[in-house]
Structure 1
């Protein structure tokens, strides 16, 4: 008869907890939706991480990025080919500044997308 040892039960429990945790994170992560991005600018922070992690914009031309994300916001980066979008503030117990999604271009192709915070 096969018996599971106490150590094996603990390992199995933690493995199951990790799998369930990652599944829930994946399930509830907000994915990019163009219509929601354009119509609700203050909630963009929910989609910004997905845009960065999925490389949605990498390799796109500036015109394609502007078509996907809409007209960029004005910002103060100088001598860098980029577009910038305000994404609002995520709810937090701590004071946090406005956040921006910045898409950097080289030879008119997006090569990096980053979320940056500005201090209030």
Structure 2
């Protein structure tokens, strides 16, 4: 007994393969956050910021844990909340080259929010 692929079966298989390959390649070449990558690749920090935010890597950590992980930063307060800001460098954009920062908000000595912002 032999199984024959019909035209629609072949098209479906090709589409499935394309989706799997695309997903795998995107995952492989996406800049993942690690302490080593953060220290070594300053020019790609703007890419790592997305990973930090999506995976909620910093939430619940103390200020000292953040400094140990990311290094020293600009410390300020805004609306009574303590904030650490890390420069992410220039994010390539078709319109302009934007300088961005990673903004980390603290409440009760713990990280409550991490967002991207403009310098």
Identify the residue that residue 71 of structure 1 maps to in structure 2. 72
Identify the residue that residue 108 of structure 1 maps to in structure 2. 109
Does the 8 A contact of 2:91 with 2:98 survive in 1?
no
SS in 2 for 1:98: strand
Q: Point out the structure with the larger strand share.
A: 2
Distance 1:69 1:53, change over 3 A: same
Counting only pairs closer than 5 Å after superposition, residues 47-62 of structure 1 correspond to structure 2 as: 47-62=48-63
Identify the residue that residue 20 of structure 1 maps to in structure 2. 21
Can you give the 5+ residue segments of structure 1 that lack an aligned partner in the other structure?
Answer: none
- For normalisation by structure 1, the TM-score amounts to 0.79
SS in 1 for 2:85: strand
Task: Tell me the distance in 1 between the aligned counterparts of 2:98 and 2:88.
Answer: 11
Distance 1:109 1:7, change over 3 A: same
Coordinate RMSD, CA, aligned:
2.3
Counting only pairs closer than 5 Å after superposition, residues 66-105 of structure 1 correspond to structure 2 as: 66-73=67-74, 77-105=78-106
Task: Tell me the distance in 1 between the aligned counterparts of 2:100 and 2:91.
Answer: 8
SS in 2 for 1:44: helix
What is the aligned length? 118
